Structure 1
Amino acid sequence: MLDALSEKFERILKKLRGQGVLTEDNIAEALKEVRLALLEADVNFKVVKDFLDRVREKAVGQEVLKSLTPGHQVVKVVWDELRGMMGGERSGISLASRPPTIIMMVGLQGAGKTTTSGKLARLFKGQGKRVLLVAADPRRPAAGDQLASLGRDLGIDVHRFDQIDASRADVVRICQRGVERGQEQGYDLIVLDTGGRLHVDDELMAELVAVKQAVNPHEVLLVADAMTGQDAVNMAGQFDQQVGLTGVILTKVEGDARGGAVLSIRAVTGKPIKFLGMGEKLDALEPFHPDRMASRILGMGDVLSLIEKAQETFSREEAEAAQKKLTSSTFTLEDFRSQLGQMNRLGSFEQILGMLPGGQKLKDLANSGLPEKEMKRVAAMIDSMTTRERRDHTLINGSRKKRIARGSGTSVQEVNRLIKQFLQARKIAKVMSGGAGGRRQLAQMLRGM
């Protein structure tokens, strides 16, 4: 998502930064290109107009034009306004002072409401909360089955309706009973997965209003498909007007969404985006930070989110143990294989690049799939080794290399290259841990290479 918009912004702002002196004409020309880029990204036209008016007002001020680096000052203005357009500050889930916190999930059919309910439950379970999922869509028994399956996978309890004729089940009563159970059994969080339709209709809205009045939820979150662009924004407006929302979760953000929904929803509806669904896996739910998203759009990366993702993936003990092994002679191919597995848990190569400053420049490499293919080949070669070989690479002679190559579908040359790269990486890591002297030695090594 937003790749095309990010590339255009980076190109436009690079031209501004490259000019020593800026004039109102320079800025006006650049803002024309920004306007076109935003409209092509399916951003609401009124939001675009207001955004450009604010940027123009600040960018042509004497403080900017007469500064030592006017181009960089304009970039800062654009970043500030992008962040403001998307809400300014992070808006999280409002937890009740006295549990349980009740979260009501609403949205149209197919937006990913049930999966997102499971993702949200997993997130809070990881924070030590007891979570109860409530299957509140009796018209679609398959939705209840899906939620029950997610609950089993996550080790989270699911409350389901017990009526024989599901089509006549009282949705309000199901939600009330789920909340009563949550209160009686001491749950911290109750997530209501309500019913959806293919489109907004009066019956759906009346049902949701009745549920909201009956259980008085602390959060009413709309699950919207980012791929639908301005349709998602319009739908958010309708749900907010008739039901009353506290926030939005955008799904399918990892796809080819142009970004119009992300940039428009807060400005049009006044409701914050709270999370982004980044894939089908249950851990693919990211908190939404307007400042970090603005940085991504301008090609500055999002290192903070990458660090947080790494902290969720690796424990402190794991990181310290890996560092200790890496900087000593005890780091083995077995440890290397373990590190590859942890890297996979961070996400795809494309997602990681998107969080690094300038990472978009390597998009073609990510899209080619080469890094993932190479990592799979390396993993296959290490998996084809015996335990003793993984722990002591010096045992791997010519005949063993042939066996490893046959077992992994690679060649002896690739096995040789793997061992060489492994030894180089281990040597560099050990040298880097040696302070200033180590850095000088590293520089000499790199010159030699």
Structure 2
Amino acid sequence: MMFESLQARLGEIFRRLTGRGHLSPEDVDAALREVRLALLEADVHFTVARDFVARVREAAVGQEIWKSLTPAQQVIKIVYDELVRLLGGAHRDLRTAPQPPTVLLLVGLHGTGKTTTAAKLGYLLRRRGRHPLLVATDLRRPAAVEQLEAVGRQAGVPTFTQAGATDPVAVALAAVDHARRSGHDVLIVDSAGRLHIDDPLMAELARMREALRPTEVLLTLDAMAGQDAVRMAQGFAALGLDGLILTKLDGDARGGAALSVVAVTGVPILFVGVGERVEALEPFHPDRMAARILGMGDVLTLIEKAQATMDAEAAAALERRLRRGEFTLADFLEQLRQVRRMGPLDQLLELLPGLGRMRGALQVDEQQLVHVEAMINSMTPEERQNPAIIDGSRRRRIARGSGMSVQDVNRLLKQFEEARRLVRQVQGLGRRGKRVRGTAGEAGPFPGGGLPWL
């Protein structure tokens, strides 16, 4: 999982820190030495780790946090602020050309996910209302053009190709002309890659940049490569990079590349890949990522995922039914499908504040959701509308139809009845004008509210 080992180490350090009522300068120094070691173990560049700890120490001394009534929270706040700064500070979106098409030139080595990222980026832009076009200019790697066409079809984005072409620059220029004629406002150029950086590759990319004058030159980096990714970014710096896309971040337990590459290169991270699915490309927000690293969750990203997958009319209709106290198995199934469309459950749980430290105790089995959907699909429309009519013979039929046991069907119906009873209770509180208040403390200066170690 993303930043799992680093999050665990930092959480342990800060839990010990918050367990003390009073902090001395020596306590803070000891904690910062552990933070520096945790960063180095996470494969963060040694100069980045050194400078990061030095800035935190300087801020702690300047604020004289040991005189505060909550010195541990002050230390954590300083660490959070410095993490945001380390990751790039503010979020930056893609720039657009004054006159279409906007040209995005993707560069990178083989194995970094450049071609699949091109399709994911096209999908994201299509969801934003743009009309992207993929351009296949990797003419050396076997089946590279066919791969781009295949992932483009999955993303619902067309691909521009020229059969028998040998000059990638000529293909890219032809794609620009085609885009102007056909109304495509964004070109995503999948350039050639290599197993390693060499002079012919850089010469070809420089020639393409000179000819295309792209709006953005984006480098794809494998987040799991750690310091190798940082060195790769330095190698491509001569092209004049405008942004970075970190792929495979969902499988990076350490986070060394993400925490080092901006500080070393000065180039911002624009997107991160968090899975294999075509929609698994997220805009990069330094403040949200810092909150995830410190176990504070990322509620804003969770809300955005829900909004992106939710049908507004269906949600309004469900709300009206809930207000009338109606909640059926058909509604339950639709809600289940919406959750699955938002992404893998383990990734969704990571976005909830405080759940990062419970990873070991949380056993997420996506297959259980498939089983629930199979059982509900095996019911008749009447049974979904009124589960009370599901007697013993109907339960046996549903079990046979879904490949599950009668006990599984019984468990589903019991869980659904508990969910429906909860819905009715909440509606009853609303009708009586009562407010349902949480038990969490007042939100602090962090996303998600509060500190997960307190």
Task: Tell me the SS of whatever aligns to 1:331.
Answer: coil
The partner residue of 1:197 within 194, 198, 204 is 194
Deviation at 1:141, TM superposition (A): 4.7
**2:440 paired residue number:** none
Kindly provide the amino acid, as one letter, of the partner of residue 144 in structure 2: A
Kindly provide the amino acid, as one letter, of the partner of residue 371 in structure 2: R
Task: Tell me the SS of whatever aligns to 2:143.
Answer: helix
CA distance in 2, matches of 1:442, 1:270: 46
The partner residue of 2:302 within 297, 301, 306 is 306
Q: Is the 8 A contact 1:301 1:354 kept in 2?
A: yes
CA distance in 1, matches of 2:270, 2:153: 26
**2:27 paired residue number:** 26
CA distance in 2, matches of 1:441, 1:304: 23
Deviation at 1:373, TM superposition (A): 3.3
Output aligned runs, 1:44-59, within 5 Å.
44-59=45-60
**1:447 paired residue number:** none
CA distance in 1, matches of 2:345, 2:401: 26
5+ unaligned residues in a row in structure 1: which ranges? 444-449
CA distance in 1, matches of 2:155, 2:50: 45
**2:126 paired residue number:** 125
Output aligned runs, 1:350-429, within 5 Å.
350-366=346-362, 368-370=363-365, 372-429=366-423
Deviates more, 1:79-88 or 1:140-149: 140-149
**2:286 paired residue number:** 290
**2:257 paired residue number:** 261
Task: Tell me the SS of whatever aligns to 2:197.
Answer: coil
Deviates more, 1:396-405 or 1:325-334: 325-334
**2:445 paired residue number:** none
CA distance in 1, matches of 2:320, 2:212: 52
CA distance in 1, matches of 2:430, 2:18: 35
**1:220 paired residue number:** 217
Deviates more, 1:147-156 or 1:273-282: 147-156
Higher helix share: 1
| CA distances 1:35-74 after superposition (whole Å, capped 9, x unpaired) | 1110010000000000000000111334422222111011
| CA distances 1:310-335 after superposition (whole Å, capped 9, x unpaired) | 11010322322223333434321122
Q: Is the 8 A contact 1:6 1:297 kept in 2?
A: yes
Deviation at 1:378, TM superposition (A): 1.7
Q: Is 1:430 aligned to 2:431, yes or no?
A: no
CA distance in 2, matches of 1:173, 1:125: 26
Q: Is the 8 A contact 1:176 1:215 kept in 2?
A: yes
The partner residue of 2:168 within 164, 168, 171 is 171
CA distance in 1, matches of 2:376, 2:291: 38
Give the 3 Å change call, closer, same or farther, for CA 107–442 of structure 1 in structure 2.
closer
**1:149 paired residue number:** 150
Deviates more, 1:217-226 or 1:339-348: 339-348
**2:338 paired residue number:** 342
CA distance in 1, matches of 2:435, 2:213: 65
Q: Is the 8 A contact 1:94 1:218 kept in 2?
A: yes
Q: Is the 8 A contact 2:154 2:278 kept in 1?
A: no
Task: Tell me the SS of whatever aligns to 2:214.
Answer: coil
Give the 3 Å change call, closer, same or farther, for CA 142–365 of structure 1 in structure 2.
farther
Give the 3 Å change call, closer, same or farther, for CA 436–148 of structure 1 in structure 2.
closer
Give the 3 Å change call, closer, same or farther, for CA 88–159 of structure 1 in structure 2.
same
Kindly provide the amino acid, as one letter, of the partner of residue 227 in structure 2: Q
Q: Is the 8 A contact 2:6 2:253 kept in 1?
A: no
Deviation at 1:99, TM superposition (A): 1.4
CA distance in 2, matches of 1:310, 1:134: 31
Q: Is the 8 A contact 1:277 1:286 kept in 2?
A: yes
**2:239 paired residue number:** 243
Q: Is the 8 A contact 2:325 2:423 kept in 1?
A: no
| CA distances 1:392-420 after superposition (whole Å, capped 9, x unpaired) | 21221111111112222333233222212
The partner residue of 1:230 within 218, 227, 232 is 227
Kindly provide the amino acid, as one letter, of the partner of residue 428 in structure 1: L
| CA distances 1:154-187 after superposition (whole Å, capped 9, x unpaired) | 3322111222xx5xx0111111111122223332
Deviation at 1:151, TM superposition (A): 2.8
Deviates more, 1:378-387 or 1:115-124: 378-387
Kindly provide the amino acid, as one letter, of the partner of residue 208 in structure 1: L
Deviation at 1:307, TM superposition (A): 0.5
Q: Is the 8 A contact 2:119 2:157 kept in 1?
A: no
Give the 3 Å change call, closer, same or farther, for CA 157–417 of structure 1 in structure 2.
closer
Instruction: Tell me the TM-score normalized by structure 1.
Output: 0.93
CA distance in 1, matches of 2:45, 2:436: 52
Give the 3 Å change call, closer, same or farther, for CA 410–441 of structure 1 in structure 2.
farther
Give the 3 Å change call, closer, same or farther, for CA 152–440 of structure 1 in structure 2.
closer
CA distance in 1, matches of 2:222, 2:8: 23
**2:69 paired residue number:** 68
Give the 3 Å change call, closer, same or farther, for CA 408–155 of structure 1 in structure 2.
closer
Instruction: Tell me the TM-score normalized by structure 2.
Output: 0.92
Cα RMSD between the aligned structures?
1.9
Q: Is the 8 A contact 2:136 2:160 kept in 1?
A: yes
CA distance in 2, matches of 1:438, 1:358: 32
CA distance in 2, matches of 1:310, 1:173: 42
CA distance in 2, matches of 1:248, 1:318: 37
Task: Tell me the SS of whatever aligns to 2:326.
Answer: coil
CA distance in 2, matches of 1:363, 1:324: 36
CA distance in 2, matches of 1:436, 1:134: 54
Percent of pairs with identical residues: 50
